[in-house]
Each structure stands twice: as structure tokens, then as C-alpha cells.
Chain A
Amino acid sequence: MNPFNLNNPPKNPSGFTAPEGYFESFSTRLQNRLEEKPPVKSISFWRKNAKTFYGMAAILVIGLGIGMLWRWEVQKEEEAHWSAIASYVSENTDLTDEHYLELIELQTTEVPVTSDTEAEALEEVLLENEALEYSITQ
């Protein structure tokens, strides 16, 4: 007896059939579907790149947040620094309020800075402001 061989039975023995007239009517049915096929939706530039834009916006918000937080921290540090100086000065000096007032006045006094007159001008300023000379020498 010959062993079973797939090539012995007739070729293409799938057994599948289609209903009668199926292929004759197929093109008409397909044509109908092609006609009712919805038009291809065009996706706008913004929608197409939505992910990129959202990503960029998120990075911008995070960046701004970090910047603001950093500025706030620096400001807090500066405030602490100046208040520490102020309390140090008030604790470690015997300057009176009058001296401070004179110092403030002094800060607003314009000092000529041209090289020729520099030494002369400084001398003049020191002569006019005795309190300043006092604070430097003490």
C-alpha cells in the first residue's frame, strides 16, 4: 500500500465555494461602498502636532516655575543676609541714630571723582563731615 501523499488527491481541494452570482454582484456592492466611503479626514497642523505643543508648553511652565522659585529663594536669602548685617551692626557698634542720619546724608553727597581733584575733594568731604572722619578713625 502506498503511503499517504498530499499530492495524490486532486489539486486545490479546498472545498470552499461562494454563493451563486457572488462574483457578478461583487463589483456593484463594492462600488456602493466606495461611494459611501467617508472622505478622508484632514488633520489640522495643530492637532497633528498636539503632543509636541503640549510637551513644549509643559516644559515652559516647569521652566518658569523653577525660575520663579529660584528668584524667590534668592530674594529670601538676600533679605536674611541684610537683616543679619543690620542686626550685627546694631549689636556691635556704638553709633547713635544721629551718626546714622549723618551717614545717610553722606551717601547722598556727590563726591567729585576726576583723578586730578580726587585727593582734594576727599579732603574737602572729610573736613565738611566730621562724623565721617570720626567713624573711620574709631
Chain B
Amino acid sequence: MENEKAFIQELLHPKTRDAAFGKLLQYYQKPLYYHIRSIVLDHDDADDVLQNTFIKVHTYLKDFKGESKLYSWIYRIATNESLTFLQQKNKRQGFTHSEWQEKALAKLETDVYFEGEAFQLQLQEAIARLPEKQQLVFKMKYFQEIKYEDMSEILGTSVGALKASYHHAVKKIEEFIKTN
């Protein structure tokens, strides 16, 4: 957003709040959907999480202190909502994270909202074999092309650690794809 401070003021002011929130929705809904979808994999789940994310943004905007960028704050909410959603879903269904991932990947092959070719499916398989944090870093960098500095604000991890994490993830994925 061009003038973030002014936009935040619009979001906080009762007279301009609704219009500004509509603008925010238009601006963020697509990138946030794909960010969330890359974590939860299923479209219906992504839809639930996206709605919850915007509801939280709407509810807690008044508490936004401007200590981080609005973009990072919204992405942090979306990321936390996605991870919490998965934890709760797995707890309800009695799955471990890897069991859920295996099932979600199998479902992806027949998912009408996944138009990936064989390579994309193989890439998802390779990602699923990474540790959780590396998966997140890889998805955010590779699919969303989020800058390390922004990612650092979103995940609360140093830029150096993120770079190392991404580097390890790339090596492991390339290795997996080469051998499979």
C-alpha cells in the first residue's frame, strides 16, 4: 500500500472504516487465499481460514499499534490461523501432522481445485517431507515470493535463519525430486 499510515487512519476512523476495510479486502484476499491454501491444502479449509483471518483483522484493527507493517501483521494472523486450524482439525480427527499431510496429498490428486501437473504434485510431496518450519519458509518464499525481511516480521525469525532454512529446504526438495 502506498501510504500505509494514512490508510491505517482510514481503517480506524468510524466514518471511513467500512470503505477502507473493503479496499483492504480487495487488496489482500487473493494473496492471502493462496498463502493459506498452500498451508491447509484444501479449498474449503482455506475458505474458512481466510474468513476467520479477515474477521480477526476487522476485530483487532483498533489494537494495531503500527509496530510492524500492516502487511506483515495481516500475514501473521493468516499464518497463525492456518496453523491453529490444522492443529485443531488433526486433534479432532486424531491425526498426527504427517498422517494428515499424507491424506491431504492423496486427496490433492483428485482435487478439482488443484490443476497442477505431475511436477507440482511431486513438489507438494517433497515439501511434505520437510520439517514444518522449513515447509512454511519454502512455501512463503517459493510460491508467494515474500521478501525475507517481511517473512522475518511475519514469523518472528531472523533473516539469516530464514535464508538457511530456505537453502536447506531447496536442497532437500531437489534431492527428493532427483531420486524420485
Contacts and interface: CB of A to CB of B under 8 A. Distances in A.
Contact of A17 (B38, B55, B114, B145): B114
Contacts of B121: 15
A34 to B, nearest CB: 6
Main secondary structure of the interface of B (DSSP, over half): helix
Given A6-B170, A9-B119, A16 B38 contact: yes
Contact of B113 (A9, A19, A26, A27): A19
A contact patch SS: loop
Contacts, number: 72
A12 B143 contact: yes
B117 interface: yes
A96 interface: no
Contacts of B149: none
B25 interface: yes
Nearest to A33: B51
B113 to A, nearest CB: 5
B30 A23 contact: yes
B37 A12 contact: no
Contacts of A14: 34, 37-38, 116, 120, 143
Interface residues of A, number: 24
Contacts of A41: none
Contact of B37 (A16, A27, A30): A16
Interface string A59-74: 0000000000000000
Given A14-B38, A26-B29, A37 B55 contact: yes
Interface string B100-116: 00000000000001111
Ranked 5 nearest A-B pairs via Cβ: A15-B116, A15-B120, A14-B143, A16-B37, A17-B113
Interface of B: 22, 25-26, 29-30, 33-34, 37-38, 43, 47, 50-51, 54-55, 58-59, 113-117, 119-121, 123-124, 142-143, 145, 170, 173-174, 177-178
